[in-house]
Amino acid sequence: MKNLTERDKKHLWHPLTQHKLHSDMLGIVKAKGALLYDEEGNDYIDGIASWYTSMYGHCNDFILEKVQHQMKVLDQVVFSGFTHEPAVRLSEELIKILPSNQQKLFFSDNGSTATEVGIKMALQYHFNQGTKRKVLLAFEEGFHGDTFGAMSVSGLSVYNWPFEDYFIEVERILTPTKENISNILLQLSERLRKNDIAGFIYEPLVQGAAAMKMHDAEALNMILDLLKKHGVLLIADEVMTGFGKTGKNFASEHISINPDIICLSKALTAGLLPMGVTSCTQQVYDAFYSNDIAKGLFHGHTYTANPLACAAALAGIELLQSEQIQKDIRRVIESHRKFGLKIMLHPKVAAIRQCGIIFALDLDIKMERYGSLRDRLFSFFLKHGVFLRPLGNTIYILAPFIITDSQLKQLYDTIELALDTVVQDLPKDSSPTHHL
């Protein structure tokens, strides 16, 4: 039988891939803890928790046991007209750890649909009240998913440019810093006079797809305060930042102004099963609560509130609140801090930044998001037993909470070795090529 890499080429179309330039996919046959294993028996440290999902480690025994038990009781049931214990329990446990103003949960299938629901909530909230607010506000370089509403509010044209003529109406503002916040507030105050902005969607503190770009919590709070005073619904996209990654359960907890709507996925189900949740305040929910059936939120997915996904999410929340995982989070944060102090002195490092367990460094080299140098770094990391996906000239780490100290050291050592070999001899104006 042909290996996975060769068999894959016959029928499969992979995400974020130009197959004419990148035809070979590495076949992964199993995973455990922070490690992935390929067909040849090689192991790789999963330095990005498989797109920020498997935060408690792959094939976590505690989570598997909970889901296995649920499989024997109830696997799937329509969530329109029915309810079930895993969904009810998840609503109770999730509300306990969400910001205090969140009261209602709407289930969907993934991060993109979670933000799609949040966008629809914001637009229909105003529509149901007879106010004409059709504009959405978003940050430049934001990323909120690949469905049409989510693409519309995303600011990375590398993903979306073929579709930009079909988007809903969106305006963008700069991410805030201590230096630019005064100008942002001044421009916003002027713009808000039109009273046509329905909602503001934002990734709090960290813009993941924008190469872990981080912004100032105090300045963000000022923006949220101003918008809230003008009746703009605040939609926090916590798909990436949620569930402990910033050092708190949610990035929104670093900010005093609570969002009206929160979008969740990825680590929600600990990387085991797909699911999205969009939470909202009682005020948002009440705008849909009516004798007029047309005012309801007519949005749904076949696997909404799938019992198995709910069981995985419940197990994940239990682990997140455990003493051991909280200890692991503090350990990883401190380990990154120490590595940052060292690596920031490297001549090929332009800048470093950290928010909780999220660590990023920028290379002092110009390069495209998906270019030849990025590909060389990616291959170098795999060759040395490390799975990291550079975003342009940014190398970042967002590993499972349970990663060991020795595995962290291997990540750090491999990054440093890459700087000394792959990057060291390149000029600052290196011009990579190709795809996406």
Question: For the residues of 208-239, what is the DSSP string, one character each?
Answer: TTTTSEE--HHHHHHHHHHHHHTTPEEEEE-T
pLDDT at 222: 98
**pLDDT < 50: residue spans in the chain:** 1, 429-436
Helices (H), 30-110: 49-52, 61-71, 85-97
Query: String of b and e for 163-192 (b: at least 16 CB within 10 Å)?
Result: eeeeeeebeebebbeeeebeebbeebeeeb
Q: For residue 113, give the 3-state DSSP assignment.
A: helix
State phi, psi for 77 to the nearest 5 degrees.
-155, 145
pLDDT at 435: 26
Longest CA span, the chain: 69
pLDDT at 224: 98
What percentage of the chain exceeds 90 in pLDDT? 87
Helix, strand, coil share (%) of the chain residues, nearest 5: 40, 15, 40
- Cα separation, 317 vs 396, whole angstroms: 25
pTM for the structure as a whole: 0.95
Tell me which residue has tokens 């305060």: 225
- Cα separation, 367 vs 362, whole angstroms: 11
Tokens of 308: 């198995």
pLDDT at 155: 85
Nearest to 51 by CA among 367, 395, 400, 383: 400
Tokens of 116: 């799609």
Helices (H), 241-389: 282-286, 307-320, 323-343, 372-383
Torsion-angle region of 63 (φ positive above 0: left; ψ -120 to 50: alpha; else: beta): alpha
Please work out, in degrees rounded to the nearest 5, the angle formed at the alpha carbon of residue 137 by the alpha carbons of 135 and 138.
145
Q: Which domains does the chain have, with CATH numbers?
A: 4-25+32-41+325-423 (3.90.1150.10), 63-320 (3.40.640.10)
pLDDT in tens, 83-117: 999 999 999 999 999 999 999 999 999 999 999 99
pLDDT at 93: 98
Tell me which residue has tokens 């046991």: 65
pLDDT at 430: 42
* Strands 233-237 and 261-264, bridge-based pairing: parallel
